[in-house]
Amino acid sequence: MGNGLDQGYGVLKCKLSNEDTIYKLGVKNNHVQVLVEVEGDINKKYRVAINIRSSAKAEHLPEDTANQVLYYVGEDFKAEETARWLTLESGFTKITGHNRSLALDYIRGNLVIPSKMVALPNTNRNEPENSDPRNNLYDKITSYLKEAQEQDATLYVFGEPWGPEEDKPDKYFGFSPGQGVHNIHMNQGNAGGYASENGTWQDGGVLIHFENEHRWVAIFLAFQSQSWCTNDQGDATKPVSECNHTNVLS
């Protein structure tokens, strides 16, 4: 039975750093590591770890695609769908049952369209930096990050926090104390070793608010090993081979 994320769940309201390097490819090419700051406090930095490859294989899929991450970008939002986050203060807000309206749930909420999610390879490092960003997840995500930095957009990062780790600088960007947000993906329907983290209304994701354009972009991620049929504890009621993002509503 799922117990939820070990360190809790919440949303980090932040801006991308103004430093030259705002993202790096993580160890094993499993994450994009992103440097962000809390607005008004340039010394309060966080690292955001966004999955671009799954460590858990989807056993029902071919070997060459079993670790690929499902990806969906939503840009068509009504004002009432996003108003709930606008009044948040900068920094990390813990989300519990008392303020659950702030949470994301890919299955029970109304922001994600499961059937529009597609699986993408994590990277194609043989391509030039300015290549077509549509064929791998690293380029997809970093293209939005570049745009967000250029326009000074606000990020709302949903997931599990870690830190602050006193006297332990961040291993990618060197700031201290190290702290950040991870598990920025669907956090229910897991099997095996990750099943203990299952829960409802605790899914991760990144929402980018381009204030100058009155535009929102949401990046939603899920693993192909996760079932889309879950109970009130977030545990799978059917294996993913029977209930995936393409047939969850069938």
As a whole number, mean pLDDT of residues 59-82 equals 89
Q: What percent of the chain has pLDDT over 70?
A: 94
As a whole number, mean pLDDT of residues 150-172 equals 95
**In the prediction, which pLDDT does 135 show?**
81
Q: What is the pLDDT of residues 186-209, one digit of tens each?
A: 999 999 889 999 999 999 999 999
Q: Is the dihedral of CA 16, 75, 105, 59 positive or negative?
A: negative
Residues with Cβ within 8 Å of residue 205, at least 6 apart in sequence: 104, 158, 159, 184, 185, 218, 219, 220, 221
**In the prediction, which pLDDT does 76 show?**
85
As a whole number, mean pLDDT of residues 63-82 equals 90
pLDDT interval class at 41 (50, 70, 90) = low
- From the list 248, 184, 244, 177, the residue with the least C-alpha distance to 218 is 184
Q: Please tell me the distance from the alpha carbon of residue 227 to that of residue 221, in angstroms, as a whole number.
A: 13
Is the N-terminal amide bond of 62 cis, ω within 30° of 0?
no
Residues in the chain: 250
CB 156 within 8 A of CB 207: yes
Q: Is the pLDDT of residue 173 over 70?
A: yes
**In the prediction, which pLDDT does 126 show?**
59
Q: Is the pLDDT of residue 94 over 80?
A: yes
DSSP state letters, 69-119: EEEEEE----HHHHHHHHTPPSEEEE--GGGGGG---TTTSSS--GGG-EE
**In the prediction, which pLDDT does 11 show?**
98
**In the prediction, which pLDDT does 132 show?**
58
Q: Is the dihedral of CA 198, 201, 202, 204 positive or negative?
A: positive
**In the prediction, which pLDDT does 129 show?**
55
- Distance from the Cα of residue 5 to its chain's centroid: 14
pLDDT interval class at 90 (50, 70, 90) = very high
Q: What is the pLDDT of residues 238-250, one digit of tens each?
A: 999 999 999 987 5
Q: Is the pLDDT of residue 163 over 90?
A: yes
**In the prediction, which pLDDT does 134 show?**
62
Q: What is the pLDDT of residues 112-134, one digit of tens each?
A: 999 999 999 998 755 555 555 56
Residue 216 has a CB neighbour count (10 Å cut-off) of: 23
- Distance from the Cα of residue 138 to its chain's centroid: 13
Q: What is the pLDDT of residues 217-236, one digit of tens each?
A: 999 999 999 999 999 999 99
Kindly list the distances between the CA atom of residue 70 and the CA atoms of 9, 114, 178, in Å, as whole numbers in the listed order.
21, 9, 29
CB 179 within 8 A of CB 172: no
- From the list 75, 102, 76, 98, the residue with the least C-alpha distance to 87 is 102
- What residues are paired with 14 via a beta bridge? 155
Mean pLDDT of the chain: 92
